[in-house]
Amino acid sequence: MSKTPVQFRHNGVDVAVFVDGGANLLTAIREGVGDTAPKFGCGQGTCGVCTVLIDGEPHLSCITLAEAVAGRSVETADGLKNGPDLHPLQRAFMEHFAAQCGFCTPGMLMAAKALLDKNPAPSRAEVVEAIGGNICRCTGYEPIINAVLAAASAGPGRQRA
């Protein structure tokens, strides 16, 4: 069957990829664009490792129809860094040992970014709520929650330092 072209903005750059009918956005990003930051865990919407932002809102790319993002803006963890500088969330994850095997990290970072972009000073409960759809099998979540709170309290002064 013929492939369908889909055009969207990927981490600020316009891209066009060809997808199979019914392909999900995760496949389009990993295999079409070549950005392997979002991971494949369950393909069922339950683990959160494929979390990306679409027009600033968190979405699970494995259960998003690729064609549904035509003309929209998609952000992945690959777009967080600014040249050699890590994003404040990435730095906080490092400093607070919020990644062990690291498989959940790209999803956690994007779920956390979705929160901090809207709510720069969240409560602990709000952080828990924001990453409620993301599973981590290593850290026990506490270091991740602490990292997100630390990135928030570092404030905009640390943004793009």
Query: Which chain residues interact with other proteins by CB under 8 A?
Result: 1, 4, 20-22, 24, 43-45, 48, 51, 54, 57-60, 62-65, 67-68, 111, 114-115, 128-134
Binding at 154: pick from ligand FAD, ligand FES, other proteins, none (beta carbon under 5-8 Å per type): none
C-alpha span between 56 and 59 (Å, rounded): 9
C-alpha span between 20 and 34 (Å, rounded): 16
Cβ proximity to ligand FES: between 22 and 120 the closer is 22
Residue indicated by tokens 């199979």 = 20
Within a 10 A sphere around the Cβ of 161, how many other Cβ atoms? 11
Phi, psi dihedrals of residue 21, rounded to the nearest 5°: -60, 130
* Cβ pair 44, 135 in contact under 8 A: no
Cβ proximity to ligand FES: between 43 and 159 the closer is 43
Binding at 100: pick from ligand FES, ligand FAD, other proteins, none (beta carbon under 5-8 Å per type): ligand FES
46 lies in the binding site for ligand FAD (CB under 6 A) = yes
The residues that touch ligand FAD, with contacts defined as CB under 6 A, are: 45-46
